[in-house]
């Protein structure tokens, strides 16, 4: 731990470079956090202040009117529920299916493993926008438009998750499952009670990543839902800004606040592990 | 935790106990069945919802499919339209402009901040790291609302503050030259934190002994950066660059919200054209051809990435 003792001695000689760096970082962070601040503060501003000139960041008077109004503009609870069902459903299925496939690719021996791995990596390169039209036709032939199945099933497994988890499973030491094998445990048992518990950091990272990306996706719910009751919070909010849908900024910001709140809270709760895991697992 | 601690073993199955496992054909069959049981759910999903639509899009791209009636085979006509229609060429040009505006800005910002925040002596290091990553969890749509409000010509706070500094931005989203930089900036804001984290990881892989040796040799900060950090970061850099370019080619969300492709089609992108021709005009054959052009552009970039990535894996295990 010599690095720690060195770093403790360091601050005594604060170099001008460090001061400049901190000033630069404060400025950049302020710009980066400004949109978040404007969402939070405008959500609680009375309409008169929102449209006042000169504009200000903080409200003089705090109000819940915007939050009340957004719930009357949209089937708001329904949309939030849909977002949780969609992002949560995709995440749950994808974690199960991806980890099963990744386990086979990383720790089982079977014919054609390399070919299959290359094929999966190849599908990783296909942007979903490019297959959207036939995918829509397929979903519509199945009678799934405006259902959770349409939103969830096509993403219930994905190449990125398989690849990401495979990298992690490969890096787990081989001998962790030796004892279980000697006891005659089945492959599935080893997967579930030896490998998965050791892969929690990777599962958590992939889970949050999948949840965030789906919660935030705009094009996907726009395409697969035409009924406003079946949209997500992300797609629902955009209906308010389109042609003829101009509503006050304060109300939009209240809607935005509710849309980002679950993700920001989840991220802040596990942020340290999340950033470290992106850094240390196969993502780079 | 990294891949390099089991280099030779990585493609080998668990060691057979007592050597009886690889013996019989029945064992092989059983092993294959077992493995495919693990793989089946994912393969069914990927096959049905990724591979099949991809093949289907290729077929549709040679037809005049419109969702109704019979579709006629039209050969390369749709592809000819992609490369001649002025609206599409405009969208392709805009997408390239967006890529050129977005990629270097996001990558340089991410790299610069990662270099600053890699030093363990930087005060408030974990606060800054968290703050810089937060935009990544905010959706493009919400980012678009917030930035649109900030730069609103009447009541925008940022417009007002910059006006105080003597910078008059006017109505940025209605301005034919400023609209594209504005939507690209929102993408930089949203995505640079992700690239930043990948750079941090790359920086942590550089052995600190190299820096100590350079310090002993009297190398200044700049020459350490030029001769150690940047060369050793080149694989990470390639990965991030290509990742960013692919993200740029698929630009849609914030533009859909902020400008809807305007003013005068100046922010119309390829994915917006796919969405409009496929889902609004129901010109499905044409939209499929355009999708395939996007697919091939992405594949080419990804292949370049994969070659870099493959080389890196080899470096790690050798």
Residues A130 and A23 occupy one common structural domain: no
Supply the pLDDT for residue A67.
87
What does the pLDDT look like over B164-173, one tens digit per residue?
888 888 888 9
Looking at per-residue pLDDT, the higher value among B205 and B12 belongs to B205
Q: Model confidence at A9, in pLDDT bands (50, 70, 90)?
A: very low
Please check whether residue A269 touches B, CB under 8 A.
no
Residue among B45, B65, B196, B269 with most chain A CBs within 10 A, to mutate: B45
Q: What is the extent of the structural domain holding A30?
A: 2-65
pTM above 0.90, yes or no: no
Domain's final residue, options A47, A65, A83:
A65
Residue B73 DSSP label: B
As beta bridge partners, residue B63 has B73
What is the percent of chain B where pLDDT is above 70?
Answer: 88
Residues A56 and A131 occupy one common structural domain: no
> Do B144 and A242 touch, CB atoms closer than 8 A?
no
Residues A58 and A105 occupy one common structural domain: no
- Please state the rounded mean pLDDT for residues B257-275: 91
> Do B139 and A218 touch, CB atoms closer than 8 A?
yes
Looking at per-residue pLDDT, the higher value among A70 and A153 belongs to A153
> What is the per-residue burial (b if ≥16 Cβ within 10 Å, else e) of B230-254?
eebbebbbbbbbbbbbbbbbbbbbb
Supply the pLDDT for residue A2.
44
**Structural domain tally of chain A?**
2
- Please state the rounded mean pLDDT for residues B19-48: 81
Q: Round to whole Å and give the CA distance between B167 and B165.
A: 6
Residues A82 and A18 occupy one common structural domain: no
Supply the pLDDT for residue A181.
84
Domain's final residue, options A16, A36, A65:
A65
Q: Give residue limits of the domains in chain B.
A: 78-317
Please check whether residue B116 touches A, CB under 8 A.
yes
Those residues with Cβ within 8 angstroms of residue B177's Cβ, 6 or more apart along the chain or in another chain? none
Domain's final residue, options A65, A92, A113:
A65
Instruction: List the structure tokens of B177.
Output: 């030259």
- ipTM (interface predicted TM): 0.84
Q: State yes or no: pLDDT of A66 exceeds 50.
A: yes
What does the pLDDT look like over B194-247, one tens digit per residue?
999 889 888 887 888 888 888 888 888 888 888 888 888 887 888 788 889 888
Residues A125 and A220 occupy one common structural domain: yes
Q: State yes or no: pLDDT of B318 exceeds 50.
A: no
Q: Does residue A266 fall inside a structural domain?
A: no
Q: Does residue A121 fall inside a structural domain?
A: yes
> Do A236 and A80 touch, CB atoms closer than 8 A?
no
Q: Tokens 């129901």 correspond to what residue?
A: B282
Regarding the domain with residue range B78-317, which homologous superfamily does it belong to in the CATH classification?
MetI-like (1.10.3720.10)
Residues A16 and A82 occupy one common structural domain: no
What does the pLDDT look like over A96-143, one tens digit per residue?
999 999 999 998 889 889 899 888 887 877 777 778 888 998 999 999
Please check whether residue A111 touches B, CB under 8 A.
yes
Residues A38 and A142 occupy one common structural domain: no
CB interface of A with B, residues 215-234, below 8 Å: 215-219, 222-223, 234
**CATH code where residue A136 lies:** 1.10.3720.10
Angle of helix A200-216 relative to helix A159-171, nearest 10 degrees? 160
In this complex, do A171 and B123 lie within 8 Å of one another by their Cβ atoms?
no
Q: State yes or no: pLDDT of A202 exceeds 80.
A: yes
């Amino acid at each position: 731990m010599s690095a720690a003792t060195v770093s403790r001695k360091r601050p005594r000689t604060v170099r001008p470079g460090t001061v400049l760096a901190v000033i630069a970082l404060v400025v950049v962070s302020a710009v980066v956090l400004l949109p978040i601040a404007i969402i939070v503060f405008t959500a609680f501003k009375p309409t008169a202040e929102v449209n006042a000139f000169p504009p200000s960041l903080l409200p003089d008077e705090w109000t819940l009117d915007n939050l009340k109004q957004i719930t009357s503009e949209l089937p708001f609870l329904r949309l939030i529920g849909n977002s949780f069902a969609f992002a949560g459903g995709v995440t749950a299925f994808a974690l199960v299916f991806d980890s099963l496939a990744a386990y086979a690719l990383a720790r089982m021996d079977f014919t054609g493993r390399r070919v299959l791995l290359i094929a999966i990596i190849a599908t990783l390169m296909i942007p979903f926008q490019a297959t959207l039209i036939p995918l829509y036709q397929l979903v519509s032939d199945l009678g799934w438009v405006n259902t959770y199945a349409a939103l969830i099933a096509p993403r219930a497994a994905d190449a990125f998750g398989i690849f990401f988890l495979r990298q992690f499973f490969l890096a787990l030491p081989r001998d962790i499952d030796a004892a279980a094998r000697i006891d005659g445990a089945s492959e599935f048992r080893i997967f579930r009670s030896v490998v998965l518990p050791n892969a929690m950091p990777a599962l958590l990272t992939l889970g949050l990543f999948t949840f965030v990306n789906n919660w935030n996706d705009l094009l996907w719910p726009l395409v697969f839902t035409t009924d406003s009751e079946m949209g997500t919070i992300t797609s629902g909010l955009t209906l308010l800004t389109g042609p003829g849908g101009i509503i006050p900024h304060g109300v939009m910001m209240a809607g935005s606040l509710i849309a980002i709140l679950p993700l920001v809270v989840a991220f802040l709760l596990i942020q340290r592990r999340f950033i470290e895991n992106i850094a240390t697992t196969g993502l780079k | 935790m990294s891949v390099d601690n089991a280099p030779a073993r990585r493609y080998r199955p668990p060691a057979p106990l007592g050597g009886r496992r690889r013996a019989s054909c029945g064992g092989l069959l059983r092993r294959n069945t077992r493995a495919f049981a693990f793989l089946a759910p994912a393969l069914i999903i990927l096959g049905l919802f990724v591979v099949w639509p991809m093949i289907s899009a290729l077929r549709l791209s040679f037809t005049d499919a419109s969702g109704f009636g019979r579709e006629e085979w039209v050969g390369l006509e749709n592809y000819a339209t992609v490369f001649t229609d002025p609206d599409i060429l405009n969208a392709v040009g805009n997408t390239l402009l967006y890529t050129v505006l977005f990629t270097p800005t996001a990558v340089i910002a991410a790299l610069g901040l990662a270099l600053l925040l890699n030093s363990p002596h930087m005060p408030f290091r974990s606060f800054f790291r968290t703050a810089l990553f937060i935009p990544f969890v905010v959706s493009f749509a919400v980012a678009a609302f917030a930035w649109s409000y900030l730069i609103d010509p009447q009541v925008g706070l940022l417009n007002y503050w910059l006006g105080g500094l003597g910078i008059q931005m006017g109505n940025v989203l209605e301005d034919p030259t400023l609209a594209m930089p504005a939507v690209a900036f929102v993408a930089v804001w949203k995505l640079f934190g992700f690239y930043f984290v990948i750079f941090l990881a790359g920086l942590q892989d550089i052995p600190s002994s190299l820096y100590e040796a350079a310090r002993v040799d009297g190398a200044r900060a700049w020459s350490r950066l030029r001769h150690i950090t940047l060369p050793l970061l080149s694989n990470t850099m390639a990965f991030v660059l290509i990742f960013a370019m692919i993200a740029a080619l698929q630009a849609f969300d914030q533009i859909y919200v902020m400008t809807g492709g305007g003013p005068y089609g100046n922010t119309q992108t390829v994915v917006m054209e796919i969405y409009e021709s496929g889902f609004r005009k129901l010109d499905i054959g044409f939209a499929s051809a355009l999708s395939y052009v996007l697919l091939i552009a992405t594949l080419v970039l990804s292949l370049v990435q994969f070659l870099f990535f493959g080389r890196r894996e080899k470096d790690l295990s050798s």
